[in-house]
Each structure stands twice: as C-alpha cells, then as structure tokens.
Amino acid sequence: MLDVKDIDVFYGDRKVLERICLSAESGLKGIIGPNGSGKTTLLKSISRVLKPKSGIILLNGKDVYELKAKDIAKDMTVVSQDTSTKFDFTVRDVVLMGRAPHLGRFEMEKREDMEIAEKAMKLTKTWHLADRTITEISGGEKQRVIIAKALAQEPKVLLLDEPTSHLDINYQIEILDLIKALSKELVVIAVFHDLNLAARYCDELILLSEGRVFASGKPDEVIISRNIEDVYDIEVMVKQDSGRLVIYPQKKVTKFKKGRIHVVCGGGTATLLMNSLVNHGYTVTAGVLNRNDSDWDTGKMLGIEVVEEKPFSTISEKKHLQNLEFIKQAEFVVMTDMPFGNGNLHNLEAVMEAINSGILVAVIEGSDIKERDFTGGKATDLYALIKAEGSTSVRNYLEIIEMLEKKCG
C-alpha cells in the first residue's frame, strides 16, 4: 500500500505541488498533465528525492522519509527519464545492480541473483545484449535495460517517469504490455505524456494542473473533453474505438490563412503542434505518416492533408517523392522530436532536401537525437547535417508558433 496524503512540495520558495493525495494498492496508476504540471516532481517526492514541506508519504503505513535507504530500495524502485551512464559496464552488470539492496556489504551475487537478472532481461528483451557495454547500445535499448534493472530489484512499488519516451512504437507496446502484466502483482505508478497510451493501459488516472489534482478516477472519468480542454487548452473529442478511449484534437474554424506549413513528424510528437497551427490560421500538411500513427489520427481529425504509408511499413519511394512535393509547396517546414528507425529515414532526407531548396526549416529538439535513433547512427548523422546546414532549433511547439507569428502574422 502506498499512500500520499496532502503533500506540499517546493522548489526554493516556489510551491510546485499543493495538497496532493493518492492511494495505490495494485494496478497501474497513471499521472498525466501538461508540461510543468508537477508530474515528475510528484514521482521525485514519492521516491525520496524531493521531500515535501508538509503532508506525508506512507509505504505500508510507514513514513518513507523515516525508513533506511536500503529498506526502501527493497520495496520501491524508480525508472527516470534520464538513462545516461558514463561507465562502460556490461548490460548484465547494470541489471545485476538491481540486486544490490538484497546483498550484504561486500557480498557477491549468488546464482539466484544471476537467475533473477536473466529473467528480467528476457522479460524486457535485452538478454541478447547481456555482454555488450551500456554505452554502445541505442537509447531505446538502454531504456529497456534500465527497466530490467528495476525488475531485478523485485520491488513491490514500481515508479516510472515516461517509461516509453525513448522507445520505438513496437517496443512501446511491448514494454507497456509488460508493465500492465506486472501491475497485477505490484503497485505501479507511471507518468504518461501520451494520453491515448494512458487511456489504453491505466486502471486509474490522476490529472494534474498547475501542481494540483484536477481530476482522478478511472480513465473514462478523467479523460473527458471538458477536462482535457480546461487543462491542456485544446479542443478535443473523446470517443470509444474498439473498446478503448481515443482522444482526437478538434479543428477550430478560422476565417483567414497565413501560410503553408509542412510538418515532418510521427509517434504522437506533433499533436499539439498541428492543432495549434490550424487554430492560428495556417494551412498545414504532414508526412510521411503510417496509418494509425497518433499523428496520422490527429491530422485526419483536423482535416490536414497527410502523405500516408501503410501501417508499420517502410516509407516507399513513391510516398517519399509525394512528401517532397508537399515540402516544395510549403513556406516553412517543421520537424518534431520523433523517433527514427530504418523505416522512416526518408523523412530526414526530405527535411535535408527542404534546406537544399532554400525552404525555412525548424527542428524541435525536445530530446537528444541519440536517444531516438534506432538506425545504428544513420539518423544521428543526417540530423547533424540538417543542423549544420542552417535549420533553426527550438525547444517546443510554442516556440514554433511564436516564430511563425513574427514571420507570417
């Protein structure tokens, strides 16, 4: 049992969480909310990184801040967004570090510990990486290794901060299926950026807004149009699709058009951007997107013309050329911080072609390209070339809107 009771959390003099309460015994509880709402801060408080100024956090009835670190580590573990490591440990050694709370001082791992680590690696599909060093594997592989390390710890409470943020779409589903299965035996609390994934996998949700609980309950009680519109400041439609909730941004009617913007995106990274561009009066196109990708869904709901490819298929030469035609018609091209695999490398090549054609290009750098590169470095090299050849780097979609309003408004 994990209980968070009326906690207030501060960064210096600034209050970032106010009177937060949650309770969890089993199942998967998701924390959602816009950037800056306090999602990661809440996990930091539960995991003893940031002590609340008031309120209490109880694990099986005991204040977590009064327990010894090793005792806490036997029962609770956290997987953060930062998976960076500076040392050349093997993947096996990293996963075995999860056994540390169960070992005495100077005690070596026993056969049982080795078997537990192996099981964790097989569950996360990282067993084949066991003898490779952690610094030579991709960002997505590293994320799965860190989750394996957490599982090797055999916790009763598992905290995850955007556990699929660096994973390609196929591994997102695999990891979330695994986490869902684990939640039948553990308390699992996870921060989600993607509302559709949160709705699909979570048993309960907490929606945070400006450091307070805005709504909590089952997904169909929390993810309703009114709540999402109030907290995220976008109009959406929420409906049941094949037995699960799906959130679609809604198109606002505008009486003017400012310019033509082409968005290169994928994996749900452009939902807010495309919605905002349309609402500000721009003509928007997008591509290449696989059908049923979250951004493809958004584009269709907003009436955006999208270059589409078959689900889970590599971008064909035909679709790549169609994408280039869309780019030639655009006044501005935006590339989001999407993941890249061998199947969508053509999208990077299309952005490079836009630069060579003299079209203004902006790149959203929400995360390191190396953490999103599943091509063995080919995407990283192309990305570096795009930056070197004159693209503009921004941090988020709001900076894109600000930039466009200055140029086109």
Q: Rounded to whole angstroms, what are the CA distances from 224 to 107, 149, 231, 239, 279?
A: 52, 36, 11, 9, 21
pLDDT of residue 254: 43
Containing 217, the helix (H) or strand (E) segment is strand 212-217
Q: Grade residue 163 by pLDDT with cuts at 50, 70 and 90.
A: confident
Judgement on whether residues 165 and 32 belong to the same structural domain of the protein = yes
273 falls within a domain: yes
Q: Grade residue 262 by pLDDT with cuts at 50, 70 and 90.
A: very high
Judgement on whether residues 31 and 66 belong to the same structural domain of the protein = yes
Q: What's phi and psi for 160, nearest 5 deg?
A: -135, 130
CATH (domain of 207): 3.40.50.300
Q: Is the pLDDT of residue 45 over 90?
A: yes
Nearest to 96 by CA among 118, 79, 75: 118
Token pair belonging to 388: 């070197």
Residues 166 and 48: beta-carbon distance below 8 Å: no
Token pair belonging to 36: 């800056």
371 falls within a domain: yes
pLDDT of residue 199: 92
Q: Grade residue 169 by pLDDT with cuts at 50, 70 and 90.
A: confident
Residues near 147 by beta carbon (within 8 Å), at least 6 away in sequence: 79, 124, 160, 163, 175
DSSP 408: H
Q: Grade residue 253 by pLDDT with cuts at 50, 70 and 90.
A: very low
pLDDT of residue 255: 40
Q: Is the pLDDT of residue 221 over 70?
A: yes
Judgement on whether residues 306 and 391 belong to the same structural domain of the protein = yes
Q: Is the pLDDT of residue 174 over 60?
A: yes
49 falls within a domain: yes
Judgement on whether residues 216 and 338 belong to the same structural domain of the protein = no
pLDDT of residue 166: 66
CA pair distance 232, 247, nearest whole angstrom: 12
Would you tell me the crossing angle of helices 345-356 and 378-388 to the nearest 10 degrees? 20
95 falls within a domain: yes
Q: Is the pLDDT of residue 151 over 70?
A: yes
CA pair distance 198, 202, nearest whole angstrom: 6
CA pair distance 92, 100, nearest whole angstrom: 13
Nearest to 283 by CA among 305, 313, 250: 305
pLDDT of residue 256: 41
Q: What is the mean pLDDT of residues 274-295?
A: 88
3-state SS track over 138-201: CHHHHHHHHHHHHHHCCCCEEEEECCCCCCCHHHHHHHHHHHHHHCCCCEEEEECCCHHHHHHH
254 falls within a domain: no
Judgement on whether residues 177 and 83 belong to the same structural domain of the protein = yes
Judgement on whether residues 271 and 176 belong to the same structural domain of the protein = no
292-297 long-range contacts, Cβ below 8 Å, gap at least 24?
293/169, 293/266, 293/267, 293/268, 294/194, 294/196, 294/267, 294/268, 295/265, 295/266, 295/267, 295/268, 295/269, 295/270, 295/271, 297/246, 297/248
Judgement on whether residues 229 and 332 belong to the same structural domain of the protein = no
Note the helical H segments in 207-344.
219-222, 225-232, 271-279, 294-302, 317-329
Q: How many CB atoms sit inside 10 A of residue 282's CB? A: 21
Q: Is the pLDDT of residue 71 over 50?
A: yes
Containing 69, the helix (H) or strand (E) segment is helix 69-75
Judgement on whether residues 221 and 307 belong to the same structural domain of the protein = no
Q: Rounded to whole angstroms, what are the CA distances from 324 to 278, 302, 329, 330?
A: 21, 22, 9, 10
CA pair distance 124, 145, nearest whole angstrom: 7
Residues 289 and 266: beta-carbon distance below 8 Å: yes
242 falls within a domain: no
123 falls within a domain: yes
Sign for the pseudo-dihedral over CA of 129, 133, 137, 143: positive
Judgement on whether residues 32 and 142 belong to the same structural domain of the protein = yes
**Number of structural domains found in the chain:** 2
Domain boundary among the residues 188, 216, 233 is at 233
Judgement on whether residues 201 and 293 belong to the same structural domain of the protein = no
3-state SS track over 25-60: CCEEEEEECCCCCCHHHHHHHHCCCCCCCEEEEEEC
DSSP 337: S
* pLDDT tens-place string over residues 124-141: 889 999 999 998 887 778
- 73 against 213, higher pLDDT: 213
Average pLDDT score, the chain: 88
pLDDT of residue 248: 78
pLDDT of residue 251: 56
Nearest to 262 by CA among 322, 340, 332: 332
245 falls within a domain: no
Cα 356 from chain centroid (whole Å): 32
Judgement on whether residues 306 and 264 belong to the same structural domain of the protein = yes
Structural domain of 391? 260-408
CA pair distance 180, 198, nearest whole angstrom: 11
CATH (domain of 338): 3.40.50.720
Containing 73, the helix (H) or strand (E) segment is helix 69-75
Judgement on whether residues 132 and 27 belong to the same structural domain of the protein = yes
Q: What is the mean pLDDT of residues 34-63?
A: 92
Q: Grade residue 408 by pLDDT with cuts at 50, 70 and 90.
A: low
CA pair distance 101, 72, nearest whole angstrom: 9
